[in-house]
């Protein structure tokens, strides 16, 4: 098994793994959602990979069997993120046939080591029940805030 940062040659596989993750996480996606993602995700990764989004992959020869994504954003500094640099973990996904072999842990360790090197103040994620214990064991804590998590949707 090869563990490395994703590169431009991995874009199509990263896009496919993102879609597989979203289908597994959300259930069935609409035909329109699938069409948009399959059309636009490769271009997104081509433009942003190793700039604002970093991919960590486990490869069995040429096939990516597990991945983790780190989205890096720089914001105006605050006590909550003193360097202004924050990370969001997305799409930690292992193909079903390859699960429970420690691949997600290894990719997350690589991701967190890079987060330190990049000077990120904080790395956040939303954990599924399946991933919760892994993230706790890596030092993530449940976030408690005086703020309410809210969002505005443009497409519903």
pLDDT in tens, 140-153: 999 888 888 888 88
Instruction: State the pLDDT confidence band at 4, using cuts at 50, 70 and 90.
Output: very high
> Does some domain include residue 106?
yes
The domain that contains 38 carries what CATH number? 3.40.630.30
In this model, does residue 16 exceed pLDDT 80?
yes
pTM for the complete prediction? 0.91
What Rg, from alpha-carbon coordinates, does the chain have? 16
The boundaries of the domain holding residue 63 are 2-137
> Does some domain include residue 147?
no
* Residue 89: other Cβ atoms inside 10 A: 23
> Does some domain include residue 154?
no
**Chain CA centroid to CA 93, Å:** 8
- In the prediction, which pLDDT does 156 show? 59
Q: Which residues pair with 134 in a beta bridge?
A: none
> Does some domain include residue 95?
yes
pLDDT in tens, 48-107: 999 999 999 999 989 999 999 999 999 999 888 899 999 999 999 999 999 999 999 999
How many separate domains does the chain show? 1
């Amino acid at each position: 098994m090869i563990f490395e940062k994703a590169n431009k040659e991995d874009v199509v596989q990263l896009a496919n793994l993102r879609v597989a993750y979203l289908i597994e996480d959300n259930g069935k996606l609409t035909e329109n959602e699938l069409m948009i993602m399959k059309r636009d995700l490769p271009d997104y990764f081509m433009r942003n990979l190793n700039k604002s989004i970093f991919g960590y992959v486990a490869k069995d020869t040429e096939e990516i069997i597990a991945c983790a994504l780190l989205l890096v954003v720089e914001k105006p500094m605050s006590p909550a993120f003193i360097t202004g640099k924050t990370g969001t973990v997305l799409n930690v996904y292992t193909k079903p046939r390859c699960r429970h072999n420690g691949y997600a842990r290894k990719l997350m360790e690589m991701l967190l080591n890079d987060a330190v090197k990049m000077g990120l103040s904080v790395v956040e994620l939303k954990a599924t029940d399946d991933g919760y214990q892994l993230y706790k064991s890596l030092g993530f804590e449940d976030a408690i805030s005086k703020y309410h998590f809210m969002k505005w949707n443009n497409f519903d």
